[in-house]
Amino acid sequence: MIEVLFLLLPVAAASGWWLGQREWRRRGVNTVSAHPDFLRGLNYLLAEQPDKAIDLFVRLTEVDRETAETHLALGSLFRRRGELDRAIRIHASLIERPQLSPDLRALALFELGQDYLGAGLLDRAEALFQELVRLDLQTERALEALREIYQRERDWPRCLEVAEQLAGLTGMQRPAEVAHYYCELAEDARRRGDLPKARAQIDLALASDPDCMRVLVLAGQMALAEGEAKRALELFRRVAAHGPTYAPEVLPDLIQAMESCGEDVIAELGLLVAGRAHPPLVLALSERIEQTQGASAALDLLADYLAHWADLAVLERFLALRARAAGPDGRTRRYAEVALGVARHLRQHQPIYHCERCGFQARTLHWQCPSCRCWGTIAAILPEPIEQIPAQSP
Ligand SMILES: [Zn+2]
């Protein structure tokens, strides 16, 4: 009997069976006794016959603390393996036990909610987590789960409510997340043409997090659309000066605002590039230089950059200008176009952004990481400096 329990311990460890382990350590394994059907169920598990095991577990007439903890651990294990039907069956049967203690019932409710969440049954999961909050059991975890559900449903007012509840419970404010919720509401209002509402949400976002780049982008876009070029320029300058991640989001609008305000676009872009030579800034400056000073001056700028930094977007632009400048010599043009094709192909497969938290890579900016669902963790991948490798002799 005890040997079987020892055999189960690795299973328990893998499934996060911390409760059971704590109890067993406290009481000593030798004191554990269990219903024969429970042990038969464990044997079925070890024989890789999980459905027979679950049949026995859910039919057990008596569930004490140890067996309940085993139910929880097994349910969690099944969920982690993606076997959500089995997890739901175990956790749901546990909740129906009248003799279950309130703390274990709360754990079972929470686990069942996680099963439903994993299965995409958001309504059922939401009802369970709301029940836990109402009972003030597993409250913080239940609120976190509700926040996850409301984010998936893009129900931003409820996200704000939950964020406020969590702040009241834990004492920890989440200004960056709250600012993003208001930004989402502002974007919704702007899409509907409700500009006063959009402005009000932007003010709330700024009040929550004055350094939120997203709200500066939004406020600048709205100011530019309303003819307030000076204010837009001020906001876009702050975004561009913040760094490479958000500058591409505002570059065309920034240039438009500069033009509207009669600013020297090349001089200002040149200052930005001198401060932080990020590829989108270099590309914007090279386009402007090509328009006003010609292709040779733009090529000089790009060549200076590529002498120090390895970036495929800048290389592609450089080769495109070279191909165009190749003149009537068909062979020279073809060589340049072949190189351009290779650079273009490589660039299309090169990620531009990555999540600083989970490593997710993307070609477009996401305010919320699609993988770990954190807000504001996506950053631009910076080009690598060119290694000075001596040229090989032919
Ligand atoms: Zn992430």
- Please list, in sequence order, all residues whose beta carbon lies within 8 angstroms of the beta carbon of residue 19, skipping any fewer than 6 positions away: 69, 72, 73, 107
SS3 of 244, please? coil
120: which DSSP letter? T
User: What pLDDT does residue 25 have?
Assistant: 47
Q: Which residue ranges in the chain fall short of pLDDT 50?
A: 1-32
Cα(249) to centroid(ligand 1), Å: 20
Cα(286) to centroid(ligand 1), Å: 33
Cα(156) to centroid(ligand 1), Å: 20
Cα(309) to centroid(ligand 1), Å: 27
Cα(174) to centroid(ligand 1), Å: 17
Cα(160) to centroid(ligand 1), Å: 21
278: left (phi over 0), alpha (psi -120 to 50) or beta: beta
Query: In which element (H, E) is residue 200 found?
Result: helix 195-208
Cα(137) to centroid(ligand 1), Å: 29
Q: Would the annotation count 372 as a binding residue?
A: yes
User: What pLDDT does residue 263 have?
Assistant: 93
Cα(361) to centroid(ligand 1), Å: 9
Cα(90) to centroid(ligand 1), Å: 32
User: What pLDDT does residue 325 have?
Assistant: 81
Cα(277) to centroid(ligand 1), Å: 26
Cα(28) to centroid(ligand 1), Å: 41
User: What pLDDT does residue 282 have?
Assistant: 94
Cα(368) to centroid(ligand 1), Å: 8
Cα(371) to centroid(ligand 1), Å: 5
- Please list, in sequence order, all residues whose beta carbon lies within 8 angstroms of the beta carbon of residue 215, skipping any fewer than 6 positions away: 179, 182, 183, 186, 202, 205, 206, 209
The helix-helix angle for 50-59 and 65-80 (nearest 10°) equals 150
For the beta sheet containing 378-380, the strands, ordered from the edge strand earlier in sequence to the opposite edge, are 361-362, 353-355, 378-380
Q: Would the annotation count 212 as a binding residue?
A: no
Cα(103) to centroid(ligand 1), Å: 33
Cα(44) to centroid(ligand 1), Å: 39
Cα(376) to centroid(ligand 1), Å: 9
User: What pLDDT does residue 139 have?
Assistant: 95
CA distance 204 to 215: 10
User: What pLDDT does residue 33 have?
Assistant: 54
Q: Kindly report, residue by residue over 175-195, the tens digit of the pLDDT.
A: 999 999 999 999 999 999 999
Q: Would you kindly state where each structural domain of the chain is located, as residue ranges? A: 2-119, 274-350, 351-387
Cα(10) to centroid(ligand 1), Å: 30
Cα(203) to centroid(ligand 1), Å: 27
Cα(356) to centroid(ligand 1), Å: 7
User: What pLDDT does residue 232 have?
Assistant: 96
CA distance 81 to 89: 15
User: What pLDDT does residue 393 have?
Assistant: 55
Q: In 3D, which of 222, 226, 311 has the Cα closest to residue 236?
A: 222
